[in-house]
Amino acid sequence: MSNLQYQLDLLKAMNSKISESEHMYKLIVEQASLSFIYYSFEKDTYFSMGSFNKVFGFQVVNNNDLDRFFSFFDSSKESRIREIFFSERFSKNEESIDVLDSYGKRWFRIVCSKIYDENDTITDKVIKIIDITKDMSKNDELLYMAYYDSLTGIYNRNYFITLLDSFISRAKDNGEKVALLTIDIDNFKKVNDGLGMIIGDEFLQQFGSYLKTIADERVLVTHLSNDIFGIGIYNPYGDYSVDVFIEKIRKRLLEPFVMSMGMEVTVSVSFTIAEFPDAADSALDLINCGDIAMYKAKTLGNNQTVYFDAKMLEDFMNNVSLENKLSDAVINHKFEVYFQPQFHADTQKIRGLEALVRWKDDDKGFIPPSVFIPIAEKNGSIIPIGNYVLDRSIRQFSEWRKKFKHDFTMSINISAVQYKREDFVDNVINTIHKYDVDPKFIELEITESILIDDFELVTAKIEKLREFGIKISLDDFGTGYSSLSYLMRMPIDTLKIDKSFVDSVMVDNSTRIILDSILSMSHNMGFESVAEGVEDENQYNYLNAKGCNVIQGFYMGKPVPADDITKILEECPE
């Protein structure tokens, strides 16, 4: 083989390798969805390659094509794209921009790189165009999750706190105020339980969408948690005053929210207001103040508006302290059961005893049940307290029955929280069996509030208890939810008249009319009547004359420890 032929063959082989490399390079670039525009300063020529033609539908070979390229993107960014494209005029560094196409659908990153020779003269320029739509979509999703509530689409709690803090910082500089309006949907549990959680969620979405319509540069709206929303208002005066927003929301709530399935949901809400700088100087503290005020609002009922103040904070801290003490009392068994005697009105002979829980704190002495029972019902400690009273009272009653031959009744108050427990009926029956007591001498006192949540379930439990032989007494009748329809349907034995009627029966004619009607109705329906809170002879004589069966109160006997009741029973004739 001649030397010339060898050189020709070598050149052919090299060209073949170059072609293969070019082909491989072309495949890699196209598969990577990269587009390029190359410009040679020496030749003043453009050349586009990679996926450019596939993405843009044309090639760049002259300045007209370049203008067409610029017009492909968001027009508001065109001047900046041109600056980056011709960045060699003011910078040697690589320049880039992320920009949407003119349809607002796809994101691109445009990167300009320059090539210089040994004399530091620019020779070539490469514009790289990368489709980053997927990356931006993922980023948008992450940003949405960071800032917005997934259920309602309005600001989430964390981002709202950040924005509210910026309001407060601005207000500090300007000597202005910031208000936090907290909104709690009254009895929202009934919406979830009655219509289902799907409808409940849709309602929250619609309510959140409504709040979004009142948001602007001075008004932030958020879904704080569950059924609680918040509105942050900068400089809350005039058209931006808290009262204006409360009125707007109450007006909207006069109309039902129509769900996608056609159901209508009507609710009321309770509002609380806390302001910077009067209540707190940070967003988180303002929210905490709103929570404290809402705690107060819920004790007042539904459809409330409560402003946070210093006294409220003091009361709240006292409650927190009391709640901690209550937890300690439960753990260390610091409760005691007292008993208040009940007497037949006509003979004044003992009819029975009502078991009453008492709590004597080491620091504060006796704390009234009206103070600690609501707290116990809220935090769940009423369950161990109630079980303690049930066990101690029936055990004590068993001892008295074995020692004395008197027939009398042991009445025990039962909380609505206890009644809701699935094991409640079995627990009562097992305790009666445990101390070998005849169930006909045990009476459970329930309040009307127990009936509200689930009348059918409550009455089913009552029927089971009565079938076992236990008597049922309806306590505090005449307050709350009194209804003849309840009375006609409820399997009860005794009607206890609330103390508020007894207090004013001797001085108020309207009270006497109501009390007389209750006693007459009780007699006609076959219920035994018990009057609570009888404190003087005049009240006793009036009730006895009107046919009240049983008297209970300080006039006949105060609540006392078990030892004092033992003395009373020793003196009672058999």
Residues above pLDDT 90, as percent of the chain: 40
Write the CB contacts of 97 (distance below 8 Å, at least 6 apart in sequence). Answer: 77, 80, 81, 84, 109, 110
Write the CATH number for 277: 3.30.70.270
d(CA 570, CA 107): 93
- Final residue before a domain boundary, out of 278, 308, 338: 308
Residues 257, 342 within the same domain: no
Question: Hey, what's the torsion of the CAs at 348, 351, 352, 356, to 10 degrees?
Answer: -50
Q: Tokens 């009273």 belong to which residue?
A: 389
The whole-number average pLDDT for the span 248-263 is 91
pLDDT averaged over every residue in the chain: 86
Write the CATH number for 64: 3.30.450.20
d(CA 93, CA 91): 5
pLDDT of residue 410: 96
pLDDT in tens, 217-233: 899 999 998 899 999 99
pLDDT of residue 24: 47
Residues 71, 27 within the same domain: yes
Amino acid at 183: I
pLDDT of residue 276: 93
Write out the H or E segment, with its range, that includes residue 28.
helix 3-31
pLDDT of residue 277: 92
pLDDT of residue 144: 63
pLDDT in tens, 402-444: 998 788 999 999 988 888 888 999 999 999 999 999 999 999 9
CA angle (278 as vertex; 274, 284 as ends), nearest 5:
55
Helices (H), 435-472: 449-453, 455-468
Tell me how many helices (H) and strands (E) the chain has: 22, 21
Nearest to 138 by CA among 109, 107, 163: 107
Give the torsion sign (CA, 314, 320, 321, 326).
positive
pLDDT in tens, 491-533: 889 999 888 889 998 998 988 998 998 899 889 888 999 999 9
Q: Identify the band that residue 268 occupies on the pLDDT scale cut at 50, 70 and 90.
A: very high
Count CB atoms within 10 A of the CB of residue 545: 9
pLDDT of residue 2: 52
| C-alpha dist (Å) from residue 47 to 42, 129, 419 | 14, 14, 83
* Within-domain flag for 162: yes
Q: What is the DSSP letter of 268?
A: -
pLDDT of residue 452: 66
* Within-domain flag for 495: yes
pLDDT of residue 564: 93
Amino acid at 524: N
Residues above pLDDT 70, as percent of the chain: 89
Q: Identify the band that residue 143 occupies on the pLDDT scale cut at 50, 70 and 90.
A: low
* Within-domain flag for 298: yes
Residues 222, 342 within the same domain: no
Q: What is the DSSP letter of 238?
A: G
* Within-domain flag for 85: yes
- Final residue before a domain boundary, out of 308, 335, 352: 308
Measured in degrees and rounded to the nearest 5, phi and psi for residue 102 equal: -65, -15
d(CA 299, CA 289): 16
Write the CATH number for 555: 3.20.20.450
Token readout for 112 is 């300009």
Write the CB contacts of 203 (distance below 8 Å, at least 6 apart in sequence). Answer: 191, 257, 259, 265, 267
Residues 83, 112 within the same domain: yes
Side-chain half-sphere of 107: how many Cα atoms within 13 Å?
Answer: 12
pLDDT of residue 25: 47
CA angle (511 as vertex; 446, 525 as ends), nearest 5:
50
The whole-number average pLDDT for the span 164-184 is 92
* Within-domain flag for 381: yes
The whole-number average pLDDT for the span 331-350 is 93
| C-alpha dist (Å) from residue 337 to 57, 295, 360 | 89, 30, 11
CA angle (326 as vertex; 393, 305 as ends), nearest 5:
115
Q: Identify the band that residue 483 occupies on the pLDDT scale cut at 50, 70 and 90.
A: low
* Within-domain flag for 142: no
pLDDT in tens, 556-568: 999 999 999 998 8
Domain count across the chain: 3
Residues 284, 361 within the same domain: no
pLDDT of residue 442: 96
Between 334 and 75, the more confident residue is 334
The whole-number average pLDDT for the span 123-140 is 80
- In the 3-class helix/strand/coil scheme, how is 97-113 assigned residue by residue? EEEEECCCCCEEEEEEE
Residues 154, 104 within the same domain: no
Question: Hey, what's the torsion of the CAs at 310, 239, 304, 284, to 10 degrees?
Answer: -50
Residues 533, 393 within the same domain: yes
Give the torsion sign (CA, 298, 213, 152, 190).
positive
Residues 299, 404 within the same domain: no
pLDDT of residue 142: 63
Residues 232, 127 within the same domain: no
Q: Identify the band that residue 130 occupies on the pLDDT scale cut at 50, 70 and 90.
A: confident
Question: Using only C-alpha atoms, what is the Rg of the chain?
Answer: 40
Residues 334, 298 within the same domain: no
pLDDT of residue 193: 79
CA angle (287 as vertex; 285, 290 as ends), nearest 5:
110
Q: 526 is in which domain, residue-wise?
A: 319-571
pLDDT of residue 151: 87
pLDDT of residue 119: 84
* Within-domain flag for 14: no
* Within-domain flag for 190: yes
Q: DSSP 3-state assignment of 128?
A: strand
Q: Identify the band that residue 197 occupies on the pLDDT scale cut at 50, 70 and 90.
A: confident
pLDDT of residue 370: 85
Q: Identify the band that residue 50 occupies on the pLDDT scale cut at 50, 70 and 90.
A: confident
pLDDT reading at 252 higher than 70: yes
Residues 296, 353 within the same domain: no
Residues 418, 564 within the same domain: yes
Measured in degrees and rounded to the nearest 5, phi and psi for residue 91 equal: -155, 145
- Final residue before a domain boundary, out of 74, 103, 136: 136
Q: Tokens 């843009």 belong to which residue?
A: 56
